[in-house]
Amino acid sequence: MRLTRRFVVLSGLAASGALVVGWSGLPPRSRLGRADLLPAGAGEVGLNGWIKITADGQVQLAMPFSEMGQGVHTALALLAAEELDIAPGRVHLIAPPRDAIYGNVATLVGNLPLHPTSTEPGHESTGARLGQWMVRKLARELGISVTGGSSTIADSWVPLRLAAATARAQLLGAASLRWKLPVAEFQIDDGVVSHAAGGEKAHFGELAAAAAVTRPGDVRFKPRDQWRLVGRPQPRRDAAAKSNGSARYGLDTRLPGMLYAVVRHAPALGGAPGRIDPAGALKRAGVERVVRLGPLAGSTDAVAVVGRSTWHARQGPQALEIDWRGRPGGALDSNAILAGLEAQVRAAAEHDDGFGFYTRGDAAAAQSAASTRLEAVYRAPYLAHATMEPMNATAHLHPDGTVEVWAPTQVPDQAREVIARVAGVPIEQVRLHVTLLGGGFGRRLEVDFIAQAVRVAQETGGRPVQLVWPREEDFSHDFYRPAGVAVLRGGLDAQGRPVALSIHSAGDAITPRWIERTLPALAGPVDIPDKTTAEGLFDLAYDIPNQRMAHVATRSGVPVGFWRSVGHSHNAFFSEGFIDEMAHAAKADPVAFRLALLAGMPRHAAVLQLAASQAGWGSPLPAGRARGVALHESFGSIVAQVLEVSVETVGGRRQPRVHRVVCAVDCGTVVNPDGVAQQVESSVVFGLTAALHGRVDIVGGEVQQKNFPDSPLLALRESPTIETHLVASTNPPTGMGEPALPPVAPALANALFALTGQRLRSLPLVLS
């Protein structure tokens, strides 16, 4: 397997001593790629591993990133169009070949547990620079293609622009050689190279063949003051197709002679089928066969019913007779797990146990000497992904041994490897088509459903089969956002200034479990400190002189996975809720209290001030309303939110009502302002849904929430007005798919405290 081979190479480098020193000193290898990487059709010419030119002058751009609603296909096409001076509509996206140049470097660099004081642009510490340098090199060698961690734009910012700028230089060079005129005298306008004085003119397609053999010379990015596309609102390139129904998601795959399969897992997590009697199901009209599925890529044993339509396949499981076996370790219970986490974290706080992600000064001593001491316990439940498009994949085993799969996936490399492993073929015989994703949120970083589809296809006699998880399976057999508990302690001096902050948290680690089930080349159990468990706790920007942040990694037995904004999703609720408690104890305004702690972090302070100003912080509100604030950095972006809330009584219960959300963002250079606003709005609605309704309860091993009526989405009438305000920046772009989600819950809880005096420390937020 490719990943295995690269680990072997890197291990060999490490073993060679001097060789690894030399390798470490070299910059990461270029991601430009060879021109012959992209297969060329009639009249097409490749200029590098990202860019092809067609005979009529259109641009084809290799697209290794998945589109799951975050707008990256629009943004990345804009980057190429800007450097090439061509209309975005003339940039067409094509599937890339399998090559390491398309591997996502930024997502691995983003997993380094670095403190924001060491990574501020222009003020990076030496240790942070070295760590990022080495991880960039390692990531470049591994070349893992993945869409996640809000990293797509950040990862593509240099290599994709470089590919387009290089192609531009080659095209200008070809024109210079054709007409024997200086390169500097040519200009490009919408894909046409021209010479104003002489009248010479040719479109990209007419120059491409010569450009392919022309050295690019000095390649430079277009100066910012010449940008015509980047930084200006642009329409989504997929909006029309998604509006008229022509967009193709995984579920839209249709092939001649296709069969349909529906999966059914044990009612209890970790359970498995024992004896199976398929007779009743096979008597149902349209049911073709019943396939037993083993544990595949992290899934538990399951059964698939194959039919002539999805409807036929869905009827089959109702007639199956199965003796379900329970989990070998006993039935899971979410309340018992949370109680156990609280006991563990209280003990850890008492004895300062757990892995220390960040230490500054002596938090314990400062806490003991503080004039005012605070302590609070915060809790967060398990959460399901609940993507609108259920898990699905379509597999076809061809007679020549080729395996063809259509799947909405965030990890095409891992998908190819699991397909090859299950089908028992070399990876070169795998053809993967990545469709549009009807929501990812981290669930499609898993490949279990793809493995199951291939396994079923082995039993269909060469006919393609589409495997679908019913919504009930999706809810009850997810890889959940881990439950978490934290004990937070703070100390204030006599003047109300914070002098100590310690946070001990406990919860399952995601990354080791994901590695075990998704990267089998790394054989054996993996137990490493997982940055995602403590992100949003150890990396606070506030200048508190004594800090201690530690985490106790647990293994509850509940399958856990990456959920939108991962650890930040609940850790921001813990940290920003407690910062608000400290402000209240200090009798300070929550915004002013935070600003006093951000003197050395001017970007964070500017974002907070912008949100407060735009929200009218401190100005009067109508009776029965209050504001709450939260500030959080995640995935390189800084977000501050001010929520305006009231409380209403519905069905005899008091419920929060959010009227307005004001969001300020510093995400570096903005490629498409409309795209950023859309992601802010998406994150706020997603975050409010989780804060008000999100939970997964496990009783007797069974997940109680089976479908959306049990776990409702935010209703249209509940949706607030959402305002997005962007901080102008010349820094490279940072993430935006997730950073606006973490501040939602704490800002809401803080507003409810200001309104009702009730401090809510558990999610979801329920008023008494």
Region 385-398 average pLDDT: 97
Region 380-403 average pLDDT: 98
What's the pLDDT score for residue 158?
A: 97
Question: What tokens does 136 get?
Answer: 């960039």
- Dihedral of CA atoms 42, 47, 49, 50 in degrees, nearest 10, equals -90
Cis before residue 273, ω within 30 degrees of 0?
no
What's the pLDDT score for residue 524?
A: 62
What's the pLDDT score for residue 23?
A: 60
φ/ψ (deg, to 5) at 233 = -60, 135
Region 18-33 average pLDDT: 74
Contact 540, 742 (CB under 8 A): no
What's the pLDDT score for residue 592?
A: 98
The model's pLDDT over 217-253, given as tens digits with 9 standing for 90+, comes to: 999 999 999 999 999 999 999 999 999 999 999 999 9
Query: Where residue 57 falls among pLDDT bands split at 50, 70, 90?
Result: very high
Q: With pLDDT > 90 as the criterion, what percentage of the chain qualifies?
A: 93
How far apart (Å, rounded) are the C-alpha atoms in residues 98 and 1? 13
Is the pLDDT at 7 greater than 80? The verdict is no
DSSP string, 325-344: E--TT----HHHHHHHHHHH
Region 530-556 average pLDDT: 98
Is the pLDDT at 450 greater than 90? The verdict is yes
What's the pLDDT score for residue 14?
A: 42
Query: What strands, in cross-sheet order, belong to the sheet with 465-468?
Result: 287-293, 302-307, 259-265, 465-468, 392-397, 403-407, 430-434
Contact 271, 300 (CB under 8 A): yes
Q: With pLDDT > 70 as the criterion, what percentage of the chain qualifies?
A: 96
Region 24-47 average pLDDT: 91
DSSP string, 29-89: PP----GGGSPP-TT-EE-SSSEEE-TTS-EEEE--S--SSS-HHHHHHHHHHHHHT--GG
Query: Where residue 121 falls among pLDDT bands split at 50, 70, 90?
Result: confident
The model's pLDDT over 589-607, given as tens digits with 9 standing for 90+, comes to: 999 999 999 999 999 999 9
Helix (H) / strand (E) element for 379: namely: strand 372-380
DSSP string, 674-701: HHHHHHHHHHHHHHHHHHHH--B-EETT
Query: Where residue 1 falls among pLDDT bands split at 50, 70, 90?
Result: very low
Is the pLDDT at 10 greater than 60? The verdict is no
**Closest CA relative to residue 60, chosen from 77, 74, 85, 79:** 77
Spell out the domains of the chain, with CATH numbers in brackets.
22-104+143-238 (3.30.365.10), 250-328+391-468 (3.30.365.10), 334-383+480-756 (3.30.365.10)
**Closest CA relative to residue 152, chosen from 37, 90, 71:** 71
What's the pLDDT score for residue 22?
A: 59
**Closest CA relative to residue 235, chosen from 106, 75, 125:** 75
Is the pLDDT at 8 greater than 90? The verdict is no
Across all residues in the chain, what is the average pLDDT?
95
Region 278-298 average pLDDT: 95
**Closest CA relative to residue 607, chosen from 571, 579, 641, 575:** 641
Query: Where residue 401 falls among pLDDT bands split at 50, 70, 90?
Result: very high
What's the pLDDT score for residue 729?
A: 97
How far apart (Å, rounded) are the C-alpha atoms in residues 263 and 305? 7
What's the pLDDT score for residue 27?
A: 81
Contact 33, 99 (CB under 8 A): yes
Query: Where residue 650 falls among pLDDT bands split at 50, 70, 90?
Result: confident
Is the pLDDT at 6 greater than 80? The verdict is no
Query: Where residue 28 falls among pLDDT bands split at 50, 70, 90?
Result: confident
Contact 303, 477 (CB under 8 A): no
- What's the predicted TM-score (pTM) here? 0.95
What's the pLDDT score for residue 560?
A: 98
Contact 583, 370 (CB under 8 A): no
Residues β-bridged to residue 393? 467
What's the pLDDT score for residue 199?
A: 95
